Amino acid sequence: MSEMIRLSIFRFDPERDDKPFMQSYEVPVTKRGMKLLDALNYIKWELDGTLTYRRSCGEGVCGSDGLNINGVNGLACITPVTGLKQPVHVRPLPGMHVIRDLVVDMDHFFDQYRQIQPWMQTDTPTPEHERLQSPEERALLDGQYECILCACCTTSCPSWWWNGDRFLGPAVLLQANRWIVDSRDEATGRRLDQLEDAFRLYRCHQIMNCMEACPKELNPTAAIDSIKRKLLARKS
């Protein structure tokens, strides 16, 4: 008999259940390097088709399967099952409204993303070919552009839990910084204006949960700090 993994998974169907509950499953280890997403797929395809979760790429690129795994946020598709303490507790991202089982409502998160206007803004005429960037200028985007908007960081941030209606949260602030440091973007001033706010930006108390949570090993705390330093520099 193959090795089995025990899981305890958050279940909630608002149309049927009064309260959420944890349901236990046992799943065989089907392959070497098996990931948590493989275990969820096994449950859905072989054991219980009602289990609901999001996933797409299966390789840490799309950002759709951010989950709370044994109390830590991460992507199911790149989290190896071996090494996880059993039973593996799988819950939806914290602080979010649950639509069903592991699926949460991401509308507000993406609405906040929209608020920082995540596209290149320029005032100068478009050059004939392209807006050039030196290798050094391009290097400033490293550690910023890789974000896949999985929300693992933002939903692990206590400040966002308490004041998420106004605080933009680490993921969105990292993206705000991504456009601020982009040499081709010409809206830096307007962007900083939009962030200079006790709630939108300064709710970050450097708790650094976000950095711990990021499956892409990005550092939103540093990005937030860099925005704060830019605001300070333009004031003093």
Partner 1 sequence: MKLTKEPGSARSGIGDWYWQRLSAVVLAVLLPLPFLLIVAVYSGSVDQLGLLDLLDHFFSRLLHTLLILALIVHAYMGLKVIFEDYVPVIGWRVTLIGGMLVVMSGFGIWWLAIIWAWGG
- Which residues contact ligand FES by CB under 6 A? 55-58, 60-65, 75, 77
81 binds, among ligand FES, ligand SF4, partner 1, none (CB under 5 to 8 A by kind): none
Shortest Å distance, C-beta 27 to ligand SF4: 26
Q: Could you write out the DSSP letters of every residue in the chain?
A: ---EEEEEEEE--TTT-SS-EEEEEEEE--STT-BHHHHHHHIIIII-TT-----SSSSSSS---EEEETTEEEEGGGSBSTTS-SSEEEEPPTTS-EEETTEE--HHHHHHHHHT--S----SPPPSS-----HHHHHTTTTTTT-----TTGGG-HHHHHHTTT--HHHHHHHHHHHHS-TT---HHHHHHHH-STTTTTT-----HHHHH-TT---HHHHHHHHHHHHHHHH-
Rule CB under 8 A: say whether 212 interacts with partner 1.
no
Site for partner 1 in 119-138 (CB under 8 A): none
55 binds, among ligand SF4, ligand FES, partner 1, none (CB under 5 to 8 A by kind): ligand FES
Q: Interface with partner 1 by CB under 8 A: which range of 79-87, 121-129, 160-168, 176-184?
A: 160-168
Shortest Å distance, C-beta 66 to partner 1: 16
Instruction: Output 89 or 228, the one with its CB closest to partner 1.
Output: 228
Structure tokens at 111: 């609405």
Shortest Å distance, C-beta 53 to ligand FES: 10
Instruction: Output 51 or 174, the one with its CB closest to ligand SF4.
Output: 174
Shortest Å distance, C-beta 92 to ligand FES: 14
Shortest Å distance, C-beta 171 to ligand SF4: 4
Instruction: Output 88 or 224, the one with its CB closest to ligand SF4.
Output: 224
Task: Please enumerate in sequence order all residues whose Cβ is within 8 A of that of 50, keeping only pairs 6 or more positions apart, or say none.
Answer: 13
What is the contact surface with partner 1 in residues (CB under 8 A)? 96-97, 105, 107-108, 111, 115, 159, 162-166, 193-203, 205, 228, 231-232, 235
